[in-house]
Amino acid sequence: MYNKSSKTASEFINHEEILESLKWAEENKNNLELINKIIDEAKPYKIGNETHAKGLSHRSASLLLACVDETVWNKIFNLAREIKQAFYGNRIVIFAPLYLSNYCTNCCIYCPYHMQNKHIPRKKLSQDEIKKEVIALQDMGHKRLAIESGEDPKNNPIEYILDSIKTIYSIKHKNGAIRRVNVNIAATTVENYKKLKEAGIGTYILFQETYHKEAYEKLHPSGPKHNYAYHTEAMDRALEAGIDDVGLGVLFGLERYKYELAGLLMHAEHLESVFGIGPHTISVPRIKKADDIDPNAFDNGIDDTIFKKLTALIRISVPYTGLIISTRESEQIRRELLELGVTQISGASRTSVGGYSQTERPTDTEQFDVSDQRSLDEVVNWLMKLGFIPSFCTACYREGRTGDRFMKLCKTGQIQNCCAPNAIITLKEFLEDYASADTKKTGEALIKNYLENLKNEALKETLKNNLTKIDQGERDFRF
Q: Which residues bind ligand SF4 (CB under 6 A)?
A: 91, 93, 104, 106, 108, 111, 113-114, 150-151, 186, 225, 391, 393-396, 415, 418-419, 422
- 3-class state of residue 122 by DSSP: coil
Nearer to ligand SF4, 207 or 275 (CB): 207
- 3-class state of residue 398 by DSSP: helix
Q: Minimum distance between the CB of residue 415 and ligand SF4, rounded to whole angstroms? A: 5
Q: Minimum distance between the CB of residue 372 and ligand SF4, rounded to whole angstroms? A: 21
Nearer to ligand SF4, 51 or 106 (CB): 106
Nearer to ligand SF4, 418 or 431 (CB): 418
Nearer to ligand SF4, 99 or 356 (CB): 99
Within its chain, how far is the Cα of 447 from the centroid?
A: 26
Within its chain, how far is the Cα of 7 from the centroid?
A: 24
Q: What are the DSSP calls for 176-230, one per residue? A: ----EEEEE-----HHHHHHHHHTT-S-EE---B-S-HHHHHHHS-SSGGG-HHH
Q: Minimum distance between the CB of residue 77 and ligand SF4, rounded to whole angstroms? A: 24
**Residues near 302 by Cβ (< 8 Å), separated by ≥ 6?**
252, 253, 257, 286, 310
Nearer to ligand SF4, 22 or 83 (CB): 83
Q: Contact at 8 Å (CB) between 319 and 339?
A: no
Q: Contact at 8 Å (CB) between 63 and 35?
A: yes
Q: How far is CA 315 from CA 311, 343, 399, in A?
A: 6, 10, 26
Q: Minimum distance between the CB of residue 26 and ligand SF4, rounded to whole angstroms? A: 32
Q: Minimum distance between the CB of residue 127 and ligand SF4, rounded to whole angstroms? A: 21
Q: Which of 170, 177, 131, 182 is nearest to 430 (CA)?
A: 177
Q: Minimum distance between the CB of residue 256 and ligand SF4, rounded to whole angstroms? A: 20
Q: Contact at 8 Å (CB) between 251 and 207?
A: yes
Q: Minimum distance between the CB of residue 79 and ligand SF4, rounded to whole angstroms? A: 22
Q: Minimum distance between the CB of residue 155 and ligand SF4, rounded to whole angstroms? A: 12
Packed helices 437-453 and 416-433: angle between N→C axes, nearest 10 degrees = 150
- E strand map for 23-124: 45-47, 50-52, 91-101
The counts of H helices and E strands in the chain are: 20, 11
Nearer to ligand SF4, 111 or 266 (CB): 111
Q: Minimum distance between the CB of residue 203 and ligand SF4, rounded to whole angstroms? A: 10
Packed helices 257-275 and 304-317: angle between N→C axes, nearest 10 degrees = 20
Q: Minimum distance between the CB of residue 118 and ligand SF4, rounded to whole angstroms? A: 14
Nearer to ligand SF4, 247 or 258 (CB): 247
Nearer to ligand SF4, 111 or 215 (CB): 111
Gyration radius of the chain's alpha carbons: 22
Nearer to ligand SF4, 9 or 427 (CB): 427
DSSP 120: S
Q: How far is CA 224 from CA 104, 107, 188, 247, 327, in A?
A: 10, 9, 10, 20, 28
Nearer to ligand SF4, 284 or 396 (CB): 396
Nearer to ligand SF4, 66 or 205 (CB): 205
Q: Minimum distance between the CB of residue 86 and ligand SF4, rounded to whole angstroms? A: 14
- 3-class state of residue 433 by DSSP: helix
Q: Minimum distance between the CB of residue 321 and ligand SF4, rounded to whole angstroms? A: 11
Nearer to ligand SF4, 119 or 360 (CB): 119
DSSP 435: -
Q: Residue 391: beta bridge partners?
A: 93
Q: Please tell me the distance from the alpha carbon of residue 269 to that of residue 123, in angstroms, as a whole number.
A: 38
Q: Please tell me the distance from the alpha carbon of residue 134 to that of residue 346, in angstroms, as a whole number.
A: 15
